[in-house]
Structure formats: C-alpha cells, structure tokens
C-alpha cells in the first residue's frame, strides 16, 4: 500500500451513503490519476456523491453530463485537450445503467473511434441513485424495485461488448481490492487510446447488507468466482491473483448470496443457473488465458 499517494482528491463532504464502495473506488482512481485529470460524470450515484452546489467534494474538475452522453462528452474533451497540446487525463466515471444501458451506444462509438480516454464503469448492479431499479447489469435472481420477484434474466456481459472493440487495455476490478484497482488505473493511463475498467461496487442499501460488510461483500464476489479479476492488454488476457485462486477452488456461492437481501428466497432453479453461469465464465476465461480458444 506504500505506493499509493497520500493526496486526497475526494474531501470529507461527500453525499455518499454509509458503506458506499463506489466512492471508495473513486478515491483510489483519483489517487492513481493525479491532479491533471478531469472526471466526466453522467447521471449516476457520483452525481450526488460529489456534493451539492455551491460545494464540491472533489479536488479535480468534474464535468457533469446527461445520462447517455459520458463517453461522447469525454471524446470531445479528449480531442480538445489534445488539440491544445495537453495530456490531461479524461476519465469517464459512470454507473452500470449509464454504461451498459443508456450509454452503451456512446461508449461503443468512443471505443471504435480510438478516443484517448479511460472509461470506468462502477457497477452496483442497478440504478442506484434512483433507488435500485433493475439495469441490464442486474444479475439473475436479484430483487430490485422493478424486479420485486427477482430478475428473470442474466446480467448483461458488458465486458464482452467492450472486448469486441479491441481496446488496447481493459480490466475488471472490485472495490474490495483497492491496490489492484490503483495499479490498473495507473497502467491504463500509461497507454494511449481507449481504456476501460469495469469495477464491481457492492452497494449496502441496494444489495441489502449491513454497511460494515461492504469490503467483505466484494471479497466474496471474487472468492466465489461471481466476479473475476482480469486484465486484457492488447488482447492478451491475464487473470489476476485473487481470481486465480477462486477459479481453482471457488468458495461456495451461498457465502456470497446469503448475506444479501436482494437474493432472499432464491429458488433452487435460479441458484443452479447462477452456478452454471459462474462455471461457464470461469471455463471460458481459463481457456482463453491458456491460449486454448
């Protein structure tokens, strides 16, 4: 941890919920990015977390933009900075709804155009700041305010959509592994062109677990193989340490879901489908890393 700078770019007046992991992630993202950075934020929890006018909790410029427009706005900003001869990091920091759903077109366009920027999706698996409605990134079986009986379909595989654009760097991360996240942001920002990091960000009020369990919840997501930490540099996949272990000897899925109110009363069929899904993901990524696909 000694490599992480002490400078803080989020000061102590955020409007984040207790136990908010996405603001924790942003803290490490900005420590890695440093002061010559601009955040582009569409409608998401971070719209609220950053503070209310005339105050701000952020110590870098934050450009707020409409829900669907983060990647497009960041495109314009990046091109303009480069036109001005400036290397300023342009970082879109968007939720899963703003990325996998309403913002996916703009993201696709920006990736395809080779925009020099870092797009970070912090994924709390629902529309968080509107009170937990289902998004395309909500997992199978999860109860949200618009899936009171549990979501009947699987989580959209955003990373494979991004992968199809062949960005020079993409990675997954999780709020429970801040050093891993810090290193990934550092690496991403050292590479020109479009970069993408997808962070799993457990959400106490949305997932319905006690606030003090927020780190544990992230760890369990990784240890059960539900969330796999990896990097893909110029197409080459590397599974990261914690997930290597989890893929060999995953913790029981029940350890992850039993502590979350959103997965209350899952049917055995849904639980079974969740296990199969994890297994498929693990095998696919293991095969790819071994060069067997």
Residue closer to other proteins by CB (options 65, 200) is 65
Verify binding: residue 161, other proteins, rule CB under 8 A: no
> Which residue shows structure tokens 């759903």?
101
Residues 232-271 close enough to bind other proteins by CB under 8 A: none
Cβ closer to other proteins: 58 or 246?
58
Binders of other proteins among 9-48, rule CB under 8 A? 35-38, 40, 47-48
Handedness of CA 62, 68, 69, 75 (dihedral sign): positive
- Least separation, in Å, of the C-beta of 217 and other proteins? 27
Residue 122 neighbours by CB under 8 Å, 6+ apart:
22, 25, 26, 44, 45, 46, 93, 94, 95, 96, 175, 199, 201
CA-derived radius of gyration, the chain? 18
Tokens of 89: 């990091």
Smallest CA-to-CA distance from 194 within 275, 107, 118, 292 is with 118
Instruction: Select 61 or 152, whichever has its Cβ closest to other proteins.
Output: 61
Other CB atoms closer than 10 Å to residue 190's CB: what's the count?
Answer: 9
Given candidates 17, 45, 106, 246, which one binds other proteins under the rule CB under 8 A?
A: 106
Are the C-beta atoms of 203 and 20 separated by less than 8 Å?
A: yes
Task: In angstroms, give the least distance from the CB of 238 to other proteins.
Answer: 30
Decide if 135 contacts 125 (C-beta within 8 A): yes
Question: What burial class does residue 215 get, using C-beta atoms within 10 Å of its C-beta: 0-12 exposed, 13-18 middle, 19+ buried?
Answer: middle
# of chain residues touching other proteins (CB under 8 A): 45
The least CB distance from residue 165 to other proteins, in Å, is 12
CB of 206 to other proteins, least distance (A): 19
User: Would you say 191 and 10 are in contact if contact means Cβ atoms under 8 Å apart?
Assistant: no
Compute the least distance from the CB of residue 141 to other proteins, in Å.
Answer: 33
- What three-state secondary structure class fits 197? strand
Mask of contacts with other proteins, 47-86, x by CB under 8 A?
A: xx-xxxxx-x-xxxxxxxxx-xx-xxxxxxxxxxxxxx--
Distance CA 268, CA 30 (A): 42
List 21, 22, 23, 88, residue binding other proteins (CB under 8 A): 88
Q: Check binding of 108 to other proteins (CB under 8 A).
A: yes
Give the x-and-dash track for 111-150 against other proteins (CB under 8 A). -xx-------------------------------------
- Does residue 165 interact with other proteins by CB under 8 A? no
Binding site for other proteins (CB under 8 A): 35-38, 40, 47-48, 50-54, 56, 58-66, 68-69, 71-84, 88, 105-106, 108-109, 112-113
């Amino acid at each position: 941890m000694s490599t992480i700078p002490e400078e803080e770019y989020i000061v102590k007046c955020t409007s984040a919920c207790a136990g908010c992991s996405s603001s924790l992630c942003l803290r490490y993202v900005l420590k890695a990015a440093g002061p010559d950075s601009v955040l582009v934020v569409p409608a998401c929890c971070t719209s609220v977390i950053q503070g209310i006018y005339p105050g701000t909790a952020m110590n870098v410029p934050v450009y707020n933009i409409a829900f669907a427009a983060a990647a497009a706005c960041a495109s314009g900003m990046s091109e303009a900075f480069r036109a001005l001869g400036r290397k300023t990091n342009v970082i879109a920091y968007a939720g899963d709804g703003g990325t996998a759903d309403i913002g996916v077109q703009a993201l696709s366009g920006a990736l395809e155009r080779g925009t020099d920027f870092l797009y970070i999706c912090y994924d709390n698996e629902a529309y968080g700041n509107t009170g937990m409605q289902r998004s395309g990134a909500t997992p199978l079986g999860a109860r949200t305010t618009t899936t009171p009986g549990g979501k009947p379909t699987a989580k959209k595989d955003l990373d494979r959509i991004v992968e199809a654009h062949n960005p020079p760097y993409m990675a997954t991360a999780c709020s429970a592994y801040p050093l891993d996240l810090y290193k990934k942001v550092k690496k991403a920002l050292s590479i020109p062109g479009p970069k993408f990091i997808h962070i799993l960000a457990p959400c106490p009020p949305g997932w319905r677990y006690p606030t003090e369990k927020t780190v544990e919840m992230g760890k369990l997501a990784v240890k059960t193989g539900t969330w796999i930490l990896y990097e893909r540099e110029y197409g080459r996949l590397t599974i990261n340490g914690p997930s290597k272990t989890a893929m060999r000897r995953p913790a029981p899925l029940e350890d992850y879901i039993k502590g979350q109110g959103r997965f209350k009363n899952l049917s055995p069929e849904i639980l079974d489908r969740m296990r199969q899904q994890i297994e498929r993901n693990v095998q696919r990524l293991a095969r790819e890393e071994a060069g067997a696909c």
